[in-house]
Copies of this chain bind each other. A is one copy, B any other.
Amino acid sequence: MPATDPLSATFAALADPTRRAILARLSQGETSVAELSKPFSISAPAVTKHLKVLQRAGLVRQGRQAQWRPCQLQAAPLREAADWVAQYRQFWEQSLDRLEDYLAELQAKPVSDTTLQPARRKRKP
């Protein structure tokens, strides 16, 4: 993985369902790599690889105790990600509003309207 800006590293780390599941598990409390690996059908080395991506992005920290090296969630980088995405809130709300307007328009039309029965053709007058 090339050197990258922190926000790109955060988004790249989140771009995998296994890594998101690891973060979800760690949100319930710190745990060992062995415990973390249990619910996944992938190998322990594959889990370790995902953990390394999360650690490089600063989303997971692993303790340094000899036997028990618990992984911990580090949520701070997610704040910048949330702030970045939140800038676009008005745009997805606008598209939801347009969808609602469209549905309201459909409901306002009589049931016999052809938009609800696209299979029937209106005869030309």
Contact = CB atoms under 8 A, between A and B. Distances in A.
A73 B88 CA distance: 10
Interface centre among A9, A81, A96 (most CB of B within 10 A): A81
How many copies the complex holds: the figure is 2
A14 interface: yes
Interface residues of A, number: 34
Interface stretch (A15-23, A31-39, A41-49, A111-119): A15-23
Given A12-B12, A15-B12, A76 B95 contact: yes
Interface of A: 4-5, 7-9, 11-12, 14-17, 20, 23-24, 27, 73-76, 78-79, 81-82, 84-89, 91-92, 94-96
